[in-house]
Chains A and B, each alone.
Chain A
């Protein structure tokens, strides 16, 4: 941080200079701020356009409709922070969702079925992690194997959808805690708890700091004596468990397991993470940003359904936003690299 000495402004310099210093010191926060700004602009714009957008009901639904995506994005954030990528999460969600529905339909009690399903997600994550760490397989290919495996297994469990009648699972979606006009279901609470837990792990535990260290430079992290191998495997396990949890949430949300669920969801999750300000090269980013990214995604989807336009516009706009954020990140990285020189 010796370079910051040179850029420190004199106290009498104006607001502009102070702004500049803040920006240069916290350049890693910038993309996340940008995501927050976009979310606010979207919400206000939609409110001005439709008049009835910023209602308590609508805002509550925004979180609940995307609870599963929040959980997936949190898991993917861990992996991307280490500089890896996980393509398997959408399929893992489908597999665990249908497995849960099938187990419950066979009379397995929820107290056993739910942990079993989470373990299933963890097992696929573990497989990807071991391939990446011990067999030097690129994360892209290893998680591709995970994608194929989970998608195929989902169809092995059942070729058609299975309805869920277990009260414990349905309770997750049907119970509504109201705060004034706002309401939240246990699925929404789970999603927020996952985010909170992830923030705690990433910022206040040795494991979390190791995740950032690996993303910043794996070789350096190893030379510092950090547990690189264990951490790299664990992030994929975490992503797998998040996939399993998302499967539970989605099953509760839709009241059924369906093996075709979540085709392409891994891309939505990755897009949300990137829009939330996490750099795909690893080492920089925030879980809260991923939550914002998912909310941006959900808001765009909602606006489009308000406009009565084709849902395919969602994909196009998310694609454009993704591009915008990547270019912004590219500029930030280039600038900080220049400053370091």
Chain B
């Protein structure tokens, strides 16, 4: 039993299950999943589908945070990537053409890669603090996205493009499958090769790992490129879902939710050890909590209050100070006994 509770995913998974159980008690149809026309339907499936953009962004954020960094620009990259894709599709002769959509996707992903590389360059080569280096793009990126869309909300009707967000494949939403594929690829790369260990080494002590022969510069650079690319995919899914490129609203606050998901999953912001499974659970907690808040009839705009409470509870529960205080509280009897004993011995 102790081994189960000691597992680092114990508390995140408990929180997720509690949320699901509370929801199911409040409205039994929450847990129900029905099959219609070869597609799965249900509240849980919706949560999986809607979590795709946050899942992708949080995945990249996990890697960046593991290198002791942070990427604030993911929301802006999402906005840029959606704007690029939809501007190309909207400007073409035939928005429904697969070829057009492929070109648009390639362009959007290419731009995201470049933006990620820019962040990586500033952090790993120029040596600027990650918060500030990515703040630059966070500020400027949204402006770039607005310029691409001319300040308008570009809307397009393209079947193949919206398929990315709303389509189904093998009973499951395509958006979820994309997120799943990203999780599997990143997990394989990080956990089945030495990359994950090297990333953790860089995060725990950059100087020592450099002296030990780890190419920390390349690893940090790669982390930001990955984060940029994943944010680009998230931007495509987001814009495909609403069939519009909204440079102001796309990915707004997503960096904050992604960081929250990573922290909820048990990865420390101090860098080093990271858990991809934890981040996945963290994202699902956030998405389920959002569904719960919506179900309670709270206006979505007010939901940040709940997240604030969650953040505060999580960080306070994790705080070593509190643990020390509890230990002192509950073991004070034993301690004073042992103190007395040592005194006797000294005497």
Contact = CB atoms under 8 A, between A and B. Distances in A.
A141 B269 contact: yes
Interface stretch (B4-12, B183-191, B315-323): B315-323
Interface of A: 85, 127, 131, 134-138, 140-142, 144-149, 151-153, 155-156, 159, 259, 263, 267, 270-271, 274, 280-281, 310, 312-316, 318-320, 322-323, 326-327, 330
A320 B133 CA distance: 11
Nearest to B302: A155
Given A316-B140, A320-B140, A152 B316 contact: no
B315 A315 contact: no
A281 B128 CA distance: 11
Nearest to A149: B308
Nearest to A259: B301
A316 B144 contact: yes
Contact of B131 (A85, A136, A314, A318): A85
B127 interface: yes
B129 interface: yes
B312 interface: yes
Given A137-B315, A145-B308, A318-B139, A312 B132 contact: no
Contacts of A137: 315-316, 319
Nearest to B260: A144
Interface in B33-81: 70
B151 interface: yes
The 7 closest A-B pairs by CB, nearest first: A319-B140, A152-B305, A315-B143, A152-B304, A149-B308, A312-B146, A148-B308
B139 A315 contact: yes
Contact of A138 (B137, B269, B316): B269
A322 B135 contact: yes
Contacts of B127: 330
- A interface SS class: helix
A107 B303 CA distance: 28
Contact of A151 (B132, B141, B304, B316): B304
A155 B139 contact: no
21 contacts: A127-B312, A136-B319, A140-B269, A141-B259, A145-B311, A148-B311, A149-B309, A152-B304, A152-B307, A155-B302, A156-B305, A267-B138, A280-B131, A281-B129, A310-B151, A313-B143, A314-B143, A318-B140, A319-B143, A327-B126, A327-B128
Given A140-B70, A152-B306, 20 more contacts: A131-B315, A135-B316, A136-B320, A136-B321, A138-B270, A145-B312, A148-B311, A149-B309, A155-B301, A156-B302, A259-B301, A270-B135, A274-B132, A280-B131, A281-B129, A312-B247, A318-B140, A319-B141, A322-B136, A326-B136
A53 B143 CA distance: 25
Contact of A312 (B147, B303, B304, B309): B147
A12 B44 CA distance: 80
Contacts, number: 129
Q: Which of A134, A148, A149, A310 has the most CB of B within 10 A?
A: A148
Q: Which of A152, A159, A330 has the most CB of B within 10 A?
A: A152
A312 B225 CA distance: 25
B13 interface: no
A280 B131 CA distance: 10
Given A131-B312, A147-B256, A141 B263 contact: yes
Contact of B140 (A142, A155, A281, A315): A315
Interface in B314-334: 315-316, 319-322
B142 interface: yes
B256 A144 contact: yes
Q: Which of A144, A271, A310 has the most CB of B within 10 A?
A: A144
A50 B257 CA distance: 44
Nearest to A260: B301
Contact of A148 (B135, B305, B316): B305
A155 B247 CA distance: 23
B229 to A, nearest CB: 21
Contact of B139 (A138, A142, A152, A267): A267
A153 B306 CA distance: 10
A82 B312 CA distance: 22
Q: Which of A155, A259, A281 has the most CB of B within 10 A?
A: A155
Contacts of B297: none
A271 B70 contact: no
A174 to B, nearest CB: 31
A23 B94 CA distance: 61
B213 interface: no
B304 A149 contact: yes
A280 B322 contact: no
Nearest to A313: B143
A322 B131 contact: no
Contacts of A274: 132
A156 to B, nearest CB: 5
A131 B126 CA distance: 32
A327 B132 CA distance: 11
Contacts of A136: 319-321
A2 B127 CA distance: 29
Contacts of A156: 302, 305
Contacts of A145: 308, 311-312, 315
A318 B321 CA distance: 40
Contacts of A149: 304-305, 308-309
Contacts of A127: 312
Contacts of A151: 304
Nearest to A319: B140
B214 interface: no
A252 B150 CA distance: 32
A63 to B, nearest CB: 23
A319 B138 CA distance: 8
